[in-house]
Amino acid sequence: MIHGTNKPHTIGSRVSQGCIRLYSHDIEILFEEVKIGTPVTIIDQPIKVAEFGNRIFLETHFADSVSFETRKAQAKKLICEKIDNCKYKVRWRKVDDAIAKNLGIPMNISFPTFKQDYPTLLTPML
């Protein structure tokens, strides 16, 4: 149930009956590195939060039956557990947007900084 796919845009999405889809290159590496029959533990983690550089990302994979308010409460709790000073670093409207869209892809929920989000303004004019 771990396999490559000819639909790479579906990787990371809840679009199958429990299969884990990988890019062709990644499945080749996995095939070489892991013996057939190796036990695998699947963890259902509907909320993922990561800080990368100066940016904070939120990814959600909620089941349709989970209410928006429940999603929001769970996301806020996890974000504040993972991110120091979450009250001042996180754009909570972006969090609401990410939860509502529930796309299963990382979304930037941090406040923009001039250098990271507006690099073309730093380009000298000739």
Do residues 110 and 89 touch, judged by C-beta distance below 8 A? Answer: yes
Q: Which of 9, 19, 25, 86 is catalytic?
A: 19
Cα separation, 75 vs 83, in Å, equals 12
80 is catalytic: no
pLDDT, tens digit, for every residue of 58-86? 999 887 788 999 999 999 999 999 998 88
Q: How many domains does the chain have?
A: 2
Cα separation, 17 vs 65, in Å, equals 17
Same domain, 110 and 54: yes
Comparing 62 with 116, which gets the higher pLDDT? 62
Comparing C-alpha atoms, which of 31, 37, 3 is closest to residue 17? 3
Domain span holding position 9? 2-33
pLDDT, the chain, mean: 83
3 is catalytic: yes
Same domain, 71 and 29: no
Q: Looking at residue 81, what is its pLDDT?
A: 94
Do residues 57 and 109 touch, judged by C-beta distance below 8 A? Answer: yes
pLDDT, tens digit, for every residue of 32-60? 999 988 998 877 788 999 998 889 999 99
Same domain, 56 and 104: yes
Q: Looking at residue 53, what is its pLDDT?
A: 85
